[in-house]
């Protein structure tokens, strides 16, 4: 029986990873360890919280003593590490928060795994989830990020993720910790916090609010449906080569403005609005400082070596995402009003 601690499991991607593992592997014990920052939402795991192999632990990965005590208590044999400060705009206004969680928190987890596994690496795995942003930005349309592309982080967020990746590799090289890293492109799908482009646009279209497009909307992102990312994480967790790195992406590049136009068209149809209504909400605003021009992942390594591939076309994924937000208006309202932060208190009252 495996005992896997998944950090950040109440967040966007983590919640999909937790759901997939809890449902697919009933003989694994899954521990969702999350500090429930503004980005953590217990409602994201509500549908699986009753399952006997699901366990929630409220903990901060920067809390050395608590993390150490949890490794002693639960004897985790694997870590799937997603907990992070994840929003680039927030990293620009508060870089230190990103150093604390993304760098110090990661090193803290590495230390705990090294101490508790104590050289008995058999059956152990420390899997670190990272981002394509560590590679910097692309200008030449023929170029893609490969696993061998040199790191060139340009925002405080990507600098903190690059630093954590380096520490994970350092623990593998120096101490032999059995690590693996994946670097993924932009995810989209249900449970995405409405500070990020796609859910923010859906929220604002629904509420007839301006759609803020940074700069000229020319920046390009490579979008992957979040469940496909979770499937890739399952594949790498079970079959990835120790010490290795795999890029994950959807071969699905979109200019921001084209993506916003597409969302406007889908939403007009779904909401029964006259074609062109939502596009009138588009507002060009001051560009993000140091805004990376283009990200594009070459995902051939994971496809060829491990047999993973994206399952969903973008049109289908985007429609599913819009449908999810339209049928989960309460989730959206609770998140934007702050009510979701009461969820944990109510759910765990008296325990
Ligand atoms: P998110 O912001 O939605 O969720 C982060 C989760 O981590 C939240 O539940 C939060 O409560 C928790 N957390 C934050 N600080 C913590 C701390 N100190 N201790 C314990 N828990 C803490 O993030 P996401 O978008 O789901 O991203 C998850 C991971 O995937 C991150 O490591 C991110 O860098 C990486 N990633 C994200 C994307 C993307 O498009 N969202 C793409 C590639 C990689
Ligand atoms: O590439 C992977 C990364 O993708 C992850 O590592 C990050 O955690 C995740 O947040 C995401 O980063 P981005 O900065 O690419 O995502 P965001 O949704 O914030 O922005 C997507 C693009 O849209 C980007 O070019 C900025 C632009 N944008 C964003 C917002 C929030 C706008 O034009 N307007 C907006 O209001």
- pLDDT at position 348 is 57
pLDDT digits (tens, 9 = 90+) for 192-231: 999 999 999 999 999 999 999 999 999 999 999 999 999 9
How many whole angstroms from 89 Cα to the centroid of ligand 2?
8
pLDDT digits (tens, 9 = 90+) for 143-199: 999 999 999 999 999 999 999 999 999 999 999 999 999 999 999 999 999 999 999
Whole-number mean pLDDT of the chain?
96
* pLDDT, average across residues 254-264: 98
Nearest ligand, CA 190: 1
**Please, which residues have CB within 8 angstroms of residue 253's CB and are 6 or more apart in sequence?**
220, 221, 222, 294, 296
Contact yes or no for 281/208 (Cβ under 8 A)? yes
pLDDT at 350 exceeding the cut of 80: no
CA 64 to the chain's CA centroid: 23
Atom nearest to 9 CA in ligand 1? 9
* Residue 347 pLDDT class (50, 70, 90 cuts): low
For the chain, what percent of residues have pLDDT higher than 90? 95
Contact yes or no for 194/335 (Cβ under 8 A)? yes
* Domain locations along the chain: 3-189+224-251+294-312+340-347
Q: Which two tokens stand for residue 95?
A: 């870089």
pLDDT at 250 exceeding the cut of 50: yes
Contact yes or no for 302/247 (Cβ under 8 A)? yes
| Alpha-helix runs per DSSP H in the chain | 12-24, 64-74, 88-93, 95-98, 106-117, 156-175, 197-206, 226-239, 256-271, 300-306, 314-327, 329-337, 343-348
- pLDDT at position 155 is 98
Q: How far apart are CA 275 and CA 45, in angstroms?
A: 36
Which residue in this structure is represented by tokens 């990376």? 292
pLDDT at 248 exceeding the cut of 80: yes
- pLDDT at position 351 is 43
Nearest ligand, CA 88: 2
Which residue in this structure is represented by tokens 């809890």? 22
User: Looking at 169-178, 240-249, 333-342, which range is the least confident one?
Assistant: 333-342
Contact yes or no for 32/81 (Cβ under 8 A)? no
Q: How far apart are CA 147 and CA 135, in angstroms?
A: 9
How many whole angstroms from 223 Cα to the centroid of ligand 1?
17
Contact yes or no for 196/226 (Cβ under 8 A)? no
Annotated active-site residue 68? The verdict is: no
Q: What are the Cα distances from residue 131, in Å, to 29, 107, 207, 215, 296?
A: 27, 17, 31, 23, 11
Q: How far apart are CA 184 and CA 246, in angstroms?
A: 9
Q: How far apart are CA 312 and CA 224, in angstroms?
A: 9
Confirm or reject CATH 3.40.50.970 for domain 3-189+224-251+294-312+340-347, answering yes or no: no
Q: Pick from 6, 8, 247 the residue to mutate for probing ligand 1's pocket: most ligand atoms within 8 Å of its CB.
A: 8
Q: Which two tokens stand for residue 137?
A: 């930005």
pLDDT digits (tens, 9 = 90+) for 61-96: 999 999 999 999 999 999 999 999 999 999 999 999
pLDDT at 129 exceeding the cut of 50: yes
pLDDT at 343 exceeding the cut of 90: no
For the chain, what percent of residues have pLDDT higher than 70? 97
How many whole angstroms from 255 Cα to the centroid of ligand 2?
12
pLDDT digits (tens, 9 = 90+) for 14-59: 999 999 999 999 999 999 999 999 999 999 999 999 999 999 999 9
Q: How far apart are CA 75 and CA 306, in angstroms?
A: 29
* Residue 346 pLDDT class (50, 70, 90 cuts): low
């Amino acid at each position: 029986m495996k005992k896997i601690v998944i950090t950040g499991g109440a967040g966007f991607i983590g919640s999909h990873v937790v759901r997939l593992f809890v449902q697919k592997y009933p003989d694994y014990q899954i521990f969702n360890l999350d500090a429930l920052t503004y980005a953590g939402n217990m409602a994201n795991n509500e549908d699986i919280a009753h399952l006997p192999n699901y366990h929630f632990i409220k903990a901060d990965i920067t809390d050395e003593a608590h993390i150490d005590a949890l490794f002693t208590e639960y004897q985790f044999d694997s870590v799937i590490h997603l907990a992070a400060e994840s929003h680039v705009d927030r990293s620009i206004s508060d870089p230190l928060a990103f150093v604390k969680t993304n760098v110090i928190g990661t090193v803290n987890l590495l230390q705990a795994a090294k101490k508790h596994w104590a050289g008995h690496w058999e059956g152990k795995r420390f899997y670190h989830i990272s981002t394509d942003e560590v590679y910097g930005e692309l200008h030449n349309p023929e170029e893609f990020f490969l696993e061998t592309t040199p790191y060139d982080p340009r925002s405080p967020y990507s600098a903190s993720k690059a630093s954590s990746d380096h520490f994970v590799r350092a623990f593998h090289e120096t101490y032999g910790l059995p690590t693996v890293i994946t670097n993924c492109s932009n995810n989209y799908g249900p449970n995405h916090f409405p500070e990020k482009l796609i859910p923010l646009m859906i929220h604002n279209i629904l509420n007839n609010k301006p759609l803020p497009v940074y700069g000229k909307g020319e920046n390009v992102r490579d979008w992957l449906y979040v469940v496909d990312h979770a499937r890739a994480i399952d594949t790498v967790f079970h079959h990835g080569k120790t010490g290795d790195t795999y890029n994950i992406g959807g071969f699905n590049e979109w200019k921001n403005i084209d993506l916003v136009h597409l969302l406007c068209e889908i939403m007009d149809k779904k909401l029964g609005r006259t074609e062109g209504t939502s596009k009138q909400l588009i507002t060009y605003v001051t560009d993000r400082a140091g805004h990376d021009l283009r990200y594009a992942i070459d995902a051939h390594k994971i496809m060829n070596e491990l047999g993973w591939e994206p399952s969903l076309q973008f049109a289908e994924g985007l429609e599913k995402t819009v449908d999810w937000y339209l049928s989960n208006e309460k989730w959206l309202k609770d998140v934007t009003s702050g009510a979701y932060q009461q969820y944990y208190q109510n759910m765990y009252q008296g325990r």
